[in-house]
């Protein structure tokens, strides 16, 4: 092959190789892939040109350049400890954490040199100012109010910087050692006071419960006695009724039987028996009873029985028993 042709081919290969390399370099410098939640600030000849958002973007090679790379994610910035004085002249050491987010990459790039440092400084100065308006007790009780006041003050100042403070949280409030000791004594006294009150309340409630129990026991006992008396009275009344009813039935039965000849004979026999028993009792007391000799007839027996009863009534033995 002709040496001149070989040289021409080599030159053409080298030329197209160089062109390919240049094209690759141009494409590489002109294509920008922006990650999610990030923003690239582009400058052209040292002047702001545009802001690239997430995705595929193109710039002019060797003319445009990425001047700033800003994250759009929420950021947590630690606020260093600082000294503050309360309204009642108590020195405190306070620290916190700040949560913010970049809303405008252009303002965050050109509005302030370092927005994180600037926001931190505003948070510290605002914290000192707000604590100076409160007493020591209020700083512990109204943390939420203090956090909201700091957030509002920072957002008002940070608007031109393209950032927004989402929230501020106080991590720790540390008073002097002497104040801590006084607070501990106060809390101990308060706990003792509450314990004493609770103990007295417990004793009072216990006494009330005992009194209520005694009262209920007495009421129940009285009701039981009342019920027992009622039942006893009802039982006695029922017994009297039953005895009276039995006597009435017996009298009725005796009357019905006495109305017959056989009943009359039975009555006469009973009276004769009573008369004989009466004679025996009178004899024991040495009392004489005179009767005639006609004792076989029923009328005479009855008469003798009546005489015996009369003698019994007049006898000292029966009189002393009455």
35 DSSP 8-state letter: P
- Has residue 180 been placed in a domain? no
Domain limit, last residue, from 240, 259, 278: 259
Residues 214, 249: one domain? yes
Q: Residue 86's closest CA among 142, 26, 128, 44?
A: 128
Query: What is the mean pLDDT of each successive set of 10 residues along the chain, which is 322 residues long?
Result: 64 69 75 88 88 86 86 90 85 89 90 89 88 83 85 88 90 77 75 84 86 86 85 84 80 71 67 68 58 50 56 50 44
- Has residue 135 been placed in a domain? yes
Residues 86, 166: one domain? yes
Pairing assessment for the beta strands 38-44 and 47-52 based on DSSP bridges: antiparallel
Q: Residue 118's closest CA among 146, 173, 160?
A: 160
Q: Six-digit token pair at 3?
A: 């040496």
pLDDT of residue 102: 92
pLDDT of residue 100: 92
Domain limit, last residue, from 47, 70, 93: 70
Global pTM value: 0.51
Are 96 and 28 contacting, i.e. CB atoms less than 8 angstroms apart? no
* Domain residue limits at 9: 3-70
Tell me the C-alpha to C-alpha distance, in Å, between residue 300 and each of 271, 274, 294, 304: 12, 14, 6, 6
Residues 81, 167: one domain? yes
Tell me the C-alpha to C-alpha distance, in Å, between residue 156 and each of 110, 183, 312: 18, 36, 132
pLDDT of residue 195: 84
Q: Six-digit token pair at 62?
A: 């060797």
pLDDT of residue 319: 47
Count of structural domains, the chain = 4
Are 81 and 50 contacting, i.e. CB atoms less than 8 angstroms apart? no
pLDDT of residue 296: 46
pLDDT of residue 8: 67
Residues 136, 221: one domain? no
Rounded distance between C-alpha atoms, residue 49 and residue 67, angstroms: 10
Residues 121, 140: one domain? yes
Domain limit, last residue, from 70, 95, 115: 70
Residues 50, 105: one domain? no
Tell me the C-alpha to C-alpha distance, in Å, between residue 169 and each of 123, 127, 260, 309: 11, 11, 121, 121
The beta-strand segments (E) located in the chain are: 31-34, 38-44, 47-52, 55-58, 64-71, 75-85, 91-102, 163-174
Residues 81, 161: one domain? yes
């Amino acid at each position: 092959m002709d040496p001149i042709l070989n040289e021409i081919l080599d030159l053409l290969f080298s030329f197209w190789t160089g062109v390919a390399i240049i094209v690759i370099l141009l494409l590489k410098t002109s294509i920008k892939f922006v990650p999610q939640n990030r923003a690239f600030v582009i400058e052209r000849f040292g002047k702001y040109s545009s802001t690239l958002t997430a995705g595929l973007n193109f710039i002019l090679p060797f003319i445009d350049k990425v001047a700033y790379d800003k994250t759009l994610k929420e950021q947590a910035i630690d606020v260093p400890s600082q000294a503050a004085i309360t309204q009642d002249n108590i020195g405190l050491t306070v620290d916190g954490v700040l949560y913010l987010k970049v809303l405008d990459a252009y303002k965050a790039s050109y509005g302030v040199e370092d927005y994180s440092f600037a926001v931190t400084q505003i948070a510290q100065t605002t914290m000192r100012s707000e604590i100076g308006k409160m007493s020591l007790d209020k700083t512990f009780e109204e943390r939420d109010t203090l956090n909201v006041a700091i957030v509002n003050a920072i957002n008002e100042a940070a608007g031109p910087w393209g950032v927004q403070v989402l929230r501020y949280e106080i991590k720790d409030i540390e008073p002097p050692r002497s104040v801590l000791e006084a607070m501990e004594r106060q809390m101990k006294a308060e706990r003792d006071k509450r314990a004493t009150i609770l103990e007295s309340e417990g004793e009072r409630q216990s006494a009330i419960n005992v009194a209520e129990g005694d009262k209920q026991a007495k009421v129940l006992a009285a009701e039981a006695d009342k019920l027992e008396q009622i039942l006893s009275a009802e039982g006695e009344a029922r017994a009297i009724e039953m005895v009276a009813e039995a006597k009435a039935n017996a009298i009725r039965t005796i009357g019905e039987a006495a109305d017959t000849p056989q009943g009359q004979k039975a009555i006469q026999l009973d009276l004769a028996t009573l008369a004989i028993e009466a004679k025996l009792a009178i004899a024991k007391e040495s009392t004489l009873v005179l009767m005639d000799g006609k004792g076989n007839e029923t009328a005479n027996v009855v008469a003798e029985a009546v005489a015996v009863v009369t003698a019994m009534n007049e006898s000292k033995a029966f009189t002393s028993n009455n």
